[in-house]
């Protein structure tokens, strides 16, 4: 796909991706590099980042091992990254799942989920809005939310709350950043076969696994299915799309 022309090309656009070492973030980095973007891969997993580097085609990529729960440091390291060239956009794919009944949801438990899934997204936006960090020609931000933002599930209170907040956040940022030509959207996946899903589904009975599979009329998704939606929103294909949620769920929410 390298050398792609037309509105899906991300040629020379520098795009930061969090959660880059695994699952959806990793598939996004690989696809963006095939679309000629220059990827800045961020994750807490340093060895996963090293493995990713071997997979990326093209040139000009970079990576940073960082803990996104360290919110105060995010704008600073984004400024350091931008010293090597402005960022066209970023994708916040780092996240944690949480399946806990409410009786176990102490503030420490749900705040950890909110910190990474939601507050880090806002901290990244704070870092990105600086004129010295973003591309003066415009840009695009994508938050990976979830169908759980709109659909309830027993034990998903903290996770649903963290992802629904991203939808509200992206709409307000879309209005605030539009004058600078920066678009802000969410991609809401259904169940995707990634290491996160593997850890979660390992606790399920076979019947529960079968039910989840049946709930997706097109079957379970792959990380690349989600990455395709992200690329559409980053590239000029999404140039008139902002404040939106792109649902990529194999029909899960069509029921």
Class of residue 151 by CB neighbours under 10 A (exposed 0-12, middle 13-18, buried 19+): middle
CB 90 within 8 A of CB 18: yes
CA separation for the pair 249, 255 (Å, rounded): 11
CA separation for the pair 182, 106 (Å, rounded): 37
Stretch that binds ligand NAD, among 18-26, 54-62, 134-142, 228-236 (CB under 6 A): 18-26
Q: Which of 30, 36, 43, 215 binds ligand NAD (CB under 6 A)?
A: 43
Q: Which of 118, 160, 185, 194 binds ligand NAD (CB under 6 A)?
A: 194
Q: Which is nearer to ligand NAD, 44 or 224 (CB)?
A: 44
159 part of the active site = yes
Give the alpha-carbon dihedral of 171, 175, 181, 186, to 10 degrees. Answer: 0
Dihedrals φ, ψ of 132, to 5°?
-75, -10
By CB under 6 A, is residue 186 in contact with ligand NAD?
A: no
Number of residues interacting with ligand NAD: please give it, by CB under 6 A.
29
Q: Which is nearer to ligand NAD, 97 or 237 (CB)?
A: 97
Say which residues have a Cβ less than 8 Å from residue 33's Cβ, sequence separation at least 6.
39, 56, 57, 58, 61
Q: Which of 16, 165, 192, 227 binds ligand NAD (CB under 6 A)?
A: 192
Q: Which is nearer to ligand NAD, 45 or 150 (CB)?
A: 45
Q: Which is nearer to ligand NAD, 94 or 158 (CB)?
A: 94
Q: Which of 3, 76, 195, 217 binds ligand NAD (CB under 6 A)?
A: 195
- Residue 230 CB, shortest distance to ligand NAD, in Å, is 10
- Residue 118 CB, shortest distance to ligand NAD, in Å, is 10
By CB under 6 A, is residue 229 in contact with ligand NAD?
A: no
Q: Which is nearer to ligand NAD, 12 or 209 (CB)?
A: 209
Query: What own/partner pairs with CB < 8 Å and gap ≥ 24 does 214-218 have?
Result: 215/252, 215/255, 216/190, 216/191, 216/249, 216/250, 216/251, 216/252, 217/250, 217/251, 217/254, 218/250, 218/251
User: Considering 159, 191, 197, 232, which one is annotated as catalytic?
Assistant: 159
- Indicate which residues carry an active-site annotation: 159
């Amino acid at each position: 796909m390298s050398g792609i022309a037309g509105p899906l090309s991300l040629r020379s656009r520098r795009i930061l991706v969090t959660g880059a070492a695994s699952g959806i973030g990793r598939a996004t980095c690989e696809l963006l590099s095939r679309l000629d973007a220059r990827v800045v891969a961020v994750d807490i997993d340093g060895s996963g980042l090293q493995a990713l580097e071997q997979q990326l085609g093209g040139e000009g990529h970079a990576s940073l091992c960082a803990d996104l729960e360290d919110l105060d440091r995010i704008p600073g390291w984004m400024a350091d990254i931008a010293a090597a060239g402005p960022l066209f956009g970023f994708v916040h794919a780092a996240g944690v799942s949480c399946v806990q009944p409410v009786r176990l949801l102490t503030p420490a438990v749900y705040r950890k989920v909110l910190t990474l899934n939601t507050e880090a997204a806002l901290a990244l936006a704070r870092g990105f809005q600086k004129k010295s960090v973003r591309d003066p020609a415009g840009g695009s931000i994508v938050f990976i939310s979830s169908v759980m933002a709109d659909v309830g599930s027993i034990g998903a209170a903290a996770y649903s709350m963290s992802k629904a907040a991203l939808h509200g956040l992206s709409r307000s940022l879309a209005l605030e950043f539009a004058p600078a030509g920066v678009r802000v959207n969410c991609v809401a996946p259904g169940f995707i076969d990634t290491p996160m899903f593997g850890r979660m589904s390992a606790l399920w009975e076979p019947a529960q696994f079968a039910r989840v599979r049946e709930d997706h009329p097109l079957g379970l998704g792959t990380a690349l299915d989600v990455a395709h939606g992200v690329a559409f929103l980053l590239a000029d294909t999404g140039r008139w799309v902002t404040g939106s949620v792109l649902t990529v769920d194999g029909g899960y929410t069509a029921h």
